Structure formats: structure tokens, C-alpha cells
Amino acid sequence: MSGDSYSNYGTNSGHIGPINNFGKPAFSLTQEIIDRIIKACPVSVPVTVIAVGSQKAFPMRDIIAAALDKAGFKVDTSSAMMIMPPAETPIQIQTKPDRTIIQINPAL
């Protein structure tokens, strides 16, 4: 699991060393999350999917955009190094009267 660290100090009843968790696990895009995103978007307005920050966001943006397109949404994509104010979660959905904006920042 991402974020875990192993230090091998020998064996003790089958357990090898301590396991130290340094920080939260890295964000990963699952089918369940994609389904929740699709359900959160109104079909009547176009969707912009924005990759924010690292290169890791770009494939996630493309996967989400393809899933929305397959579900019948009009989709366009964009990217940004930083958004102000910054998002608080890896995926943020803003629904406006004329457009839905999905920001993906897996670094959060």
C-alpha cells in the first residue's frame, strides 16, 4: 500500500519488523468513483473535466471524460497547474446553470 514503510529488524512470531504508515494512501480512481461522478452531473449541461497539478491527473481526466462521453454527456477537457482557491478533495464537482466543472487533483 502506498504510504507504508517496512523496516526489517528480524522475525518475531512470523512478523517481520514494524510497519510504519507515513501519511495517507495515494488517491486512486476506481469504477465506483467514476459511477458517483456520472450520477452527480446533470445531463442537461456540458461538462468540463480539468486535470490539476501533476501528470498523474491527466490519465484520470481522460478516463472520466471518456466515461461521461459514453454516458451521453457533452464533454471537453482542460488542464491547469493550480486552481485558486485550491480544492479540498482529489475530485471536486461544481454544478453551474450552464456547465458542470470537474477538477481532478490526485495529489490531495
The tens digit of pLDDT for each residue in 53-91 reads: 888 899 999 999 999 999 999 999 999 888 877 778 899
Q: Mean per-residue pLDDT for 13-32?
A: 73
Q: pLDDT averaged over the chain?
A: 84
pTM of the model: 0.76
Question: Each residue of 40-78: b (16+ CB within 10 Å) or e?
Answer: ebeeeeebbbbbbbeebbeebbeebbebbeebebebebe
Q: What pLDDT score was predicted for residue 86?
A: 76
Q: Mean per-residue pLDDT for 32-43?
A: 95
Whole-number Å distance between alpha carbons of 57 and 39: 21
Q: Mean per-residue pLDDT for 22-51?
A: 91
Comparing CA positions, the residue from 99, 101, 2, 106 lying closest to residue 58 is 106
Residue in this structure with the C-alpha cell 486552481, named with its chain if needed: 83
